[in-house]
Amino acid sequence: MMVVKHRNEEGGLGFYRYKNVTQGGNWIIQPALHNAGDVASLLPGDAPLSTFRVLTASKLGLDSKMAGAGGDGGNDDEDGGSVRTLTTVWRAGRSGATTDHVSVLFDVNKSNGKVNRGTTNQHWYQLGPFKWLTSPWTQDIQYHDHPDTKKKIKGKVIKGMKAIVGIAEKAHRVLVPRVPLVGWDVAVTDKGILLLEGNFSCNFFMGTVDYDWYYDFCDAYFRELWGKRDKATTAPTMPAPAADNRDERK
């Protein structure tokens, strides 16, 4: 089976599964991947590939002065200080779903892999684009178990969390170092821990975030942009024309 996704779609749209392909087009084609390890044991047998959304922030797009103002870590170090993980959320797919956009969002501690409570963002997708002004941004729904298997998930520890976070941070540092924020989809599969894609249009998926650090980070980028804008819009001062002292009556 092949997984086919249109290159210009996001949010789980433009996603198809085929047993054979005879038509060309602008598609991303890859073999189907499957959940494995501890992740698979917590999911229904027919759950989709259930990924970890790792949101990383990079200060490599800042100059040295602004990088220091954006929180801990420099803008050119190689030990991870320049790229930091803000939040990690596991999208535990629902039974029979095609993608993990139909899932429960479990907040995961990025350091030790401990799973915290889950919630959902399905109301974002169900209400449609014309009702977004009247829809709630969050819903007061909490999950401790997977709703399909009834297995306890809160309190479980995801093994390999260091590798999950590490692959996302390395990808940010190497592939798009000057992009401030990227949401990476990482999967624990039967082929190992794999990086699936990076998303430039991303959100926190209601995970735990150090907002003080995040606000300092955003402020540093805005300050640098404002400085560049002011520099670009400041017109050079033109010298005044020399005075003409000739007497036109002569």
Pairing of strands 52-58, 83-93: antiparallel
Per residue in 129-163, pLDDT tens?
A: 555 555 555 567 899 999 999 999 999 999 999 99
d(CA 48, CA 7): 20
Q: Looking at per-residue confidence, does 246 or 234 come out higher?
A: 234
pLDDT in tens, 185-231: 999 999 999 999 999 988 898 899 999 999 999 999 999 988 888 88
* Interval 23-46: pLDDT, tens: 666 667 778 899 998 899 999 999
Q: Would you state the pLDDT for residue 136?
A: 54
- What values do phi and psi take at 45, rounded to 5? -65, -25
pLDDT exceeds 60 at position 232: yes
Residue with tokens 């992740």: 39
Residues 6+ apart with CB under 8 A from 63: 75, 224
Q: What is the pLDDT of residue 155?
A: 97
Amino acid 82 reads S
Q: For residue 115, what are the β-bridge partners? A: 108
Helices (H), 19-160: 37-41, 64-69, 122-126
Among candidate residues 37, 146, 31, the one with its CA nearest the CA of residue 94:
146
Partner residues linked to 131 by β-bridges: none
Spans of all domains in the chain:
1-32, 33-231
